[in-house]
Structure 1
Amino acid sequence: MSLADVLAPLQQPLFTPLGTPVSWTEVLGFGTGALCVWLVARQHIANWPVGIANNVLFVLLFTQAGLYADAGLQVVFITLAVYGWWTWTHGGGPGSGVLPVRRTTRAEWTWLLAAGVVGTAGLTLLLDRATDSDVPFWDALTTALSLMATYGQCRKRLESWWLWIAADVVYVPLYAYKELYLTALLYIGFMTLCVLGLRHWSRDPAVRRPLPVPTGAARHETTVEATA
């Protein structure tokens, strides 16, 4: 039995609302995706394994729909999920095993935005020339925004929720255009969960604490005060 034979049942229509077939893959992707975002909003470590299951399902779904950048993005997500899983449990630094919620620094914004612009442009060109995608720019843009947001999620950056919301605003009409109506509905739900996640993370006491001053900077300030 080949891999295609094993996966074939997942691609069979489960029901057909309004004349559009909805597969098992899309239904399971809906469920695992919603659960994953809810767990992230609650800062629950189980979001990572649930997210990996969601990524595997979406690889199948997006490949079948011709959204090749989104399909490839899921593979990257799996790698980042392993990194995020480790970071959330071991990235809190000395004396703290849990990573706290923080705000995105100016330096992080600079390289994230630069990487997003370059990535969107490069991926648009690649999809336009190397695939039969009829939405190369929008596929590339959502890919770039999602990667930026995932980095923030891995590092527990508060503003990662804003990036997810921006990506979802584009995803909803994109999936509707591709007749992935259940997935489009899922992403409307994602936006709601993202707003709730943003509010939940904003209440985290760690967000309101000032970032620690680097040792070198602290010594410099002490020297200046002593001189004065």
Structure 2
Amino acid sequence: MLGSSAIELIAVFCGFINVVLIIRRSIWNYLFGFIMVILYAKIFYDYQLYSDSILQVYFFFMQIYGVACWLQGKSDDGKIQVVSLSSKVFSQYLFFGVIAWLTWSYAMHVWTDASYPYWDSAIAVLSILAQFFLSRRYLQNWYLWIAVDLLAIALFAVKGLMPTAALYFVFLILASIGLISWQRKHLKQQNDLAKVASSD
């Protein structure tokens, strides 16, 4: 049997490859995503981070949903098209996210022995929203992942999950790169559409 530290290192490796492939808009990211969420479901449960453990179950099914969405949104180069939300719609998602966070945090605080329920739940709710955005190919997924990474680095360091804290520091860097990459891709898409429209 692998110890928790070995399992965590495998999960870290899969998580790193997963995000690199997401930045490259490669659908193969989901293969590593499946492995990562299964391993982290056990790790977080063992460390009484129940919100994060439950979150991995959601992530598992969102991997399936994401594969379907990305297959439908592929461009001629085999990579996915990027979609951008309006500020109004993005704000509406955030509003409902705050309500979900307060509700979930209270439930974890009252009904479980969860460590840092409000902190943990903030990561969970933001991650749920970010993963949905990612599956739908929304550019704004990267803003949410950056917020998740900042919160997660500190929480996992406090809990002694140092390899995972280090992974989320790398995730923070990769999310920043991903945001820039997807912004450039979206701008190129808009310019290409403008050229097509002007030629008609």
* Same-fold call, TM cutoff 0.5: yes
User: Counterpart in 2 of 1:28?
Assistant: 10
The equivalent position to 2:136 in structure 1, one of 130, 155, 158, is 155
Within the candidate set 151, 168, 171, 2:152 is matched to: 171
Runs of 4+, deviation exceeding 6 Å: none
Contact 2:26 2:79 in 1 (8 A): no
Please name the residue that 1:125 is paired with: 106
Shift of 1:114: 2.1
Aligned to 1:88: 70
- Which residue of structure 1 aligns with residue 198 of structure 2? none
The sequence identity of aligned pairs, in percent, is 30
Inter-partner Cα distance in structure 2 for 1:121 and 1:82: 28
2:55 maps to which residue?
73
Q: Give the one of 15, 24, 37 matched to 1:55.
A: 37
In 1, the alpha carbon distance for the partners of 2:8 and 2:28 equals 21
Structure 1 match to 2:196:
none
Alpha-carbon distance, 1:133 to partner = 1.3
CA-CA distance at 1:200 after TM superposition:
1.3
Q: With CA pairs under 8 Å and 6+ residues apart, which has the higher RCO, 1 or 2?
A: 2
Specify the alignment match of 2:166 in structure 1. Answer: 185
The equivalences for 1:204-219 within 5 A come to: 204-205=185-186, 208-209=189-190
2:20 is the counterpart of 1:38? yes
Amino acid at match of 2:91: T
CA contact (8 A) 1:102 1:207 kept: no
Q: Which runs of 5+ in 1 are unaligned?
A: 1-8, 14-22, 213-228
Aligned residues: 192
Q: Residue type matched to 2:110 in 1?
A: R
Q: Distance in 1 between matches of 2:150 and 2:23?
A: 19
- Whole-angstrom distance in 2 between the partners of 1:189 and 1:132: 30
Distance 2:85 2:62 in 1: 18
- Larger fraction in helix: 2
The answer on whether the counterparts of 1:90 and 1:98 sit within 8 Å (CA) in structure 2 is: no
Specify every segment of 5 or more residues in structure 2 that has no aligned partner in the other structure, as ranges.
194-200
Q: By how many angstroms is 1:27 displaced? A: 0.5
Please name the residue that 1:18 is paired with: none
The higher radius of gyration belongs to: 1
Name the structure 1 match of 2:197.
Answer: none
Provide, for residues 166-225 of structure 1, a one-character-per-residue CA deviation record: whole Å limited to 9, x for no partner.
Answer: 110000010011100110001000011111111211221566518x9xxxxxxxxxxxxx
* TM-score, normalising length: structure 2: 0.88
